[in-house]
Chains A and B, each alone.
Chain A
Amino acid sequence: MPGMFSKSEESTMSTSHESSHTVIGTTVHIEGTLKSDEDVVIAGSLNGTVTTSKNISIHAGAKIDGDVHAHDVLVSGQVTGDITAAGTATLTKTARVTGDVVASNIAIEHGAQLKGQMTTQSAQ
């Protein structure tokens, strides 16, 4: 059985501490409420809420069914839920958002799709 103590595992695993970011990779799915005090990167899928006091990056191909709360939010994937950013919410050209976006600043690239309301408000 592969493990960090054997040399024979076939894996791209790196067990060294490279980052304190939470990363939801493309091969996992999350159900529930994910809370963090660090940056969160989402390349996989999540059904639930994700909250951090720092920043969230949602990669192209990622799917979130639920709300997103962060300081800055960068969306390149699919979000079905509300996005709340104390700082800036950015929707890139591959973003597909169904829900409301509330942020101090909102930036939308040509090609991004949003079905919902946009509200800019002062940082809380």
Chain B
Amino acid sequence: MYVYLYDKATKDPHYESMLASIETRLIEFGMNGKVERLTVYKDLDRVIEQHVKKGAHTVVAVGDDATLRGAMQACWNHDVTLGFIPLKKTEWSDRLRLPIGAEAVDVLSKRLTRSLSIGLTKNFPILEACAFTATPDAWIRCDDQYTITFTQDSVCHIINESTQDIDNEEHGHTFRIAIAPLKNSRFKKKKKTESTFFARSCMIGTSTNAIPLSIDGVNEIQSPAELTLYRKHLNIVVGKQIG
């Protein structure tokens, strides 16, 4: 059974004809299913859980990247395949090689999927990245092999490579740690270098006060925190140029 998540963009008259052609195509392919119109009052996690109990096997976000991100957050711990019908060109439509509108239905019907790794920290999924500002008393322990410390305040992103570089299966199932110093003061002339590391697990901590960590721009937790790759994967439909 298919479940379609319609976000607020689908109410825009600008997309009315596109939506009609999408729905027509879904019916032609025999892929019509349940429609959930997302509102601020709906608990998406609960909605998905109920549909999964009733036998939903595919959840399709219809809208933009925010819709897809919400669907990923709700579906990561369920045995469903995720699909996306973008109403406009977005970062994720490019990443997944998806056309927009009704043509994306054709892609959805082919069900070519990619298995995305999910990061996990304190029971929150890391679908894209964990971001924080590191001070010189912060540290990152990688794969229990080496520890990174900072000589100055830096912006750190611990990126789930699986969802960033979908083409590259070789590097897919790992975290990429990207570190850049905050901009130098105008009195400093020496150019600083960004750092890049790869690890399957990280522990973030500080020797003094806890620091906030932003998870996918949605949740916030405090250090210390361990980031690992979850044993389950999220299957997502991709366009035919991948794989």
Residues of A within 8 A of B (CB): 1-6, 9-17, 19-36, 38, 43-44, 48
Which B residues are in CB contact (< 8 Å) with A22? 196-198
Contacts of A10 in B (CB 8 A): 182-183
Verify B155–A36 contact, CB threshold 8 A: no
Q: Which residues of B contact A24 (CB under 8 A)?
A: 195, 197
Shortest beta-carbon distance, B201 to chain A, in Å?
Answer: 14
Partner of B180, one of A12, A17, A30: A12
CA distance A33 to B217 in the complex (A): 32
CA distance in complex: A13, B133 (Å): 12
CB contact under 8 A between A35 and B196, given known A10-B182, A13-B180: no
With A4-B131, A13-B180, A17-B176 already in contact, the answer to whether A43 and B149 are too (CB < 8 A) is no
B181 within 8 A of A: yes
Contact of B179 among A5, A17, A25, A33 (CB under 8 A): A25
Pair A12/B181 contact, Cβ less than 8 Å: yes
A11 contacts which chain B residues (CB < 8 A)?
155, 180-183
Q: A62 CB to closest chain B CB, in angstroms?
A: 10
- Report whether B179 and A3 are in contact in the complex, using a CB–CB cutoff of 8 Å: no
The answer to whether A27 and B192 touch across the interface, beta carbons within 8 angstroms, is: yes
Residue among A2, A14, A21 with the highest chain B CB neighbour number at 10 A? A2
- A31 and B146 within 8 A (CB): yes
Q: Assess whether B50 is interfacial by the CB under 8 Å rule.
A: no
Looking at A9, A27, A34, which has the most chain B CB atoms within 10 Å of its CB?
A27
- Chain B residues 182 to 196 lying within 8 A of chain A, measured CB to CB, are 182-183, 190, 192-196
Is B164 in contact with chain A by the CB < 8 A criterion? yes
Contact with A along B115-155 (1 / 0, CB 8 A): 00000000000001101110000000000011111111011
A32 to B199, CA, bound (A): 14
Q: Which residues of A contact B195 (CB under 8 A)?
A: 23-25, 27-28, 44
Q: Is the CB of B198 within 8 A of A15?
A: no
A29-B151, A32-B147 as given contacts; A13 in contact with B194, CB under 8 Å: yes
Q: Say whether B146 contacts A6, CB under 8 Å.
A: no
B217 close to A25 (CB less than 8 A): no
Taking the closest CB of chain A, its distance from the CB of B242, in whole angstroms, is: 15
B159 touches A31 (CB 8 A): no
- With a CB–CB cut-off of 8 A, which chain A residues contact B146? 30-34, 48
Cα of A102 to Cα of B161 in the assembled complex, Å = 36
B194 and A5: CB pair below 8 A? no
Answer yes or no: B165 CB below 8 A from chain A CBs.
yes
B206: interface (CB < 8 Å): no
> How far does the alpha carbon of A2 sit from the alpha carbon of B157 in the complex, in Å?
10
Residues of B within 8 A of A13 (CB): 155, 157, 178, 180, 194
B165 proximity list for chain A (CB < 8 A): 17
A55 to B181, CA, bound (A): 25
